[in-house]
Amino acid sequence: MAEFTMELNDEQKEVRDWLHGFAADVIRPAAAEWDEREETPWPVIQEAAKLGIYSLDFYAQQFFDPTGLGIPMTMEELFWGDAGIALSIVGTGLAAVGVLANGTEEQIGTWVPQMYGDANDVKVAAFCSSEPDAGSDVAAMRTRAVYDEAKDEWVLNGTKTWATNGGIASVHVVVAVVDPELGSKGHASFIVPPNTPGLAQGQKFKKHGIRASHTAEVVLENVRVPGHCLLGGKEKLDERLARARERAKSGGERVKNAAMATFEASRPAVGAMAVGTARAAYEEALEYAKTRSQFGRPIIDNQGVAFQLADMRTQIDAARLLVWRASWMATTGKKFENAEGSMSKLYASETAKKVTGQAIQILGGNGFTREYPVERMHRDAAIYTIFEGTSEIQRLVIARTLSGMPIR
């Protein structure tokens, strides 16, 4: 078991510097353009694929880093470049995590490579969980999956929303209800292969931030997928549902559902994204404060500005440490006994919103214009307290874990 450390090793530093160079030289120069266009930055994704950054092999190496710091380090550097473009590059990872968390070895080997494609023909994937009436309330999910035993096929019907890469993805991972009586315990995840009839893109959302990342509804009308597209397999599902029914009768412990298993694994990574955006805004504000003069001296000479910067840096470092701790715990198999994963996302997300807002304040009128990147960073930071579990949901998870009470 790797010991927890706050120092990256030489190999990790080399990867970090490589990613930072890509973020500085490729992502940042393109950030404003793709934010304005509100389109998927395919040329940037393809460049990342050519360099090996957008690939299964690269993310597998970071995912299996024994220290647990590979993924948060990667996320921080890419999102330091730009959140919208970075999410277009890493958004496929959520679908991949969905397969890794719930799938068999054969399913992982079959579907995850197809999510990325190759440098000459890049693909993206989508994880589809939220619905118009079921965001934080996963028990309200209505998308149904019904098993057609005669054909060994599952038939999916419903509408998903807020799906990153939804509709443009090669592979969709869809969470659906297989047993309505079990509520959130009666969910399962399914692979919808490329070009499957019945799956269509619904509304594409025009967003406040992360506008270079495609977000849309996914409509499923009598979508038929082979039995082997049920992640984990039917035997495992039947066993899990049987246990859930017995526990429901006896009032036993709660059973995790497929969507929550995915989100639990990805929360520290989202925290790292927020750290990257916060760090970028802090660095812009620090440089501006050192070079911008008012009343004959740099504005950083004023305590009102300098103290803000001191708080910003302190909060960023604290957020990074929470993210690294949670990532190390997840990799080394330590249980989140105090909801450490949720803690990391909560604090990092709130820090990103606060720090980017302070950066605008330090830049004054300039910070409010699109001529300076902190305006875009502030818009982007708003999403971290919303997606993959709102800050309110994170607080609920933490409070329930600490108290052992069913707080509502």
| Catalytic machinery residues | 388
Cβ-count burial 186-205 (b if 16+ within 10 Å, e if not): bbbbbbbeeebeebebbeeb
Give the other-Cβ count within 10 Å of 234's Cβ.
16
Residue 172, helix vs strand vs coil: strand
Residue 230, helix vs strand vs coil: strand
Residue 155, helix vs strand vs coil: strand
The angle, 0 to 180 degrees and rounded to 10, between the axes of the packed helices 56-63 and 92-102 is 60
**Residue 113, CA atoms < 13 Å, CB-side half-sphere:** 7
Q: Is 9 exposed, middle or buried (0-12, 13-18, 19+ CB in 10 A)?
A: exposed
Among the residues of 292-339, which ranges form H helices? 303-331
CA separation, residue 330 to residues 132, 170, 365 (Å): 31, 29, 43
CA dist., res. 173 & res. 98, Å (int): 7
Task: Answer positive or negative: Cα dihedral of 119, 112, 85, 343.
Answer: negative
Tokens representing 171 are 């592979």
| 171-177 and 125-128 beta bridge pairing | parallel
Q: What angle do CA 222, 227, 228 make, to 5 degrees?
A: 130
